[in-house]
Amino acid sequence: MVGLSAQQVLQKRMDTTANNLANLTTAGFKVEHVVARELSQKPATADDLPHEISFADAYMLQRDFSTGPLEQTGNPLDFAIEGDGFFEVQTANGPAYTRDGRFNLNEAGEIITRNGDVVTGDGGPITVNPAGGPLSVSREGSVSQDGVVLGTMRVMKFQTPGALERVGSNLWKATDEQPLAADTGTTRVVSGMVEGSNVNAVLELTEMIEVSRAYTSIAKMIAQSDELRGTSIDKLARIS
């Protein structure tokens, strides 16, 4: 049971590491790592010393919300946030938040995410004239075209971003904490750039190798234990 408990944690670590590597080039992706904990309730004890056996499980996922590298694209509908904060978007299930600023326009000229969710402005959707002049954006997120401010993107922050719930499509939802307006003194919106993933490929590959070796080692231990148990049963049967 101890070996199985350890293997379950290692499997979760491997799955998480593989997901990190799969999102190495996903804009705005935040790396995740498994946090293990020792179980307070002991599902088994040993007849021989030591009598107490420790079991662990994959308690939670810890996310690193540090800023990824900013990559210049030249696309006026690509936006990135320097510093803390998230773009607020309106989904079918209510407001959500993202660091992925690869935006587009829908048929109505509204700025949307690649998933089709409308980017929230201070007065609702931000509507662009496709036939108009080039867009510009202020550090606060105000989008202008032909000298007219079309709206200001809602850039929000959380005191505890680790408590956010991931809901897919590079989106996050608030849980108990309410979002606050990002501090314009330390947070800046830039256009023509996107934030890359903050996954470190070298660290993740190293993690994958370590997990693989540990999993193999435990598998061998379990196999040897089963072999010893089988040998013992065979000897006892002969004695009988």
**Tens-digit pLDDT string for the chain (240 aa):** 556 677 788 888 999 999 999 999 999 999 999 887 665 566 555 455 554 566 666 656 888 999 999 999 999 999 999 999 999 999 999 999 999 999 999 999 999 999 999 999 998 999 999 999 999 999 999 999 999 999 999 999 999 998 899 998 899 999 988 999 999 889 999 999 999 999 999 999 999 999 999 888 877 877 766 677 666 676 666 775
Give the span between the Cα atoms of 105 and 113, in whole angstroms.
8
Q: Are 72 and 192 in contact (CB under 8 A)?
A: yes
φ, ψ dihedrals at 137, nearest 5°: -135, 140
What does DSSP assign to residue 209?
Answer: H
| pLDDT at site 219 | 78
Contacts of 85 (CB under 8 A, 6+ apart): 155, 156, 157, 182, 187
* Cβ neighbours of residue 63 closer than 8 Å, sequence gap 6 or more: 30, 31, 32, 161, 162, 164, 166
The pLDDT value given to residue 9? 83
Handedness of CA 229, 235, 238, 240 (dihedral sign): negative
What are the distances in angstroms from CA 31 to CA 53, 76, 88, 138, 198? 32, 27, 20, 29, 6
- Categorise residue 200: left if φ over 0, alpha if ψ from -120 to 50, beta otherwise: beta
CB 101 within 8 A of CB 27: yes
Strands 193-195 and 188-191: unpaired
Reported as type and span, the H/E element at residue 223 is helix 201-239
**Cβ neighbourhood burial of 230 (10 Å; 0-12, 13-18, 19+):** exposed
In whole angstroms, give the CA distance from residue 177 to residue 190. 27
Residues 103, 118: Cα–Cα separation, whole Å: 9
Q: CB–CB of 208/13 below 8 Å? A: no
What is the reported pLDDT for 55?
61
State the pLDDT at residue 192. Answer: 95
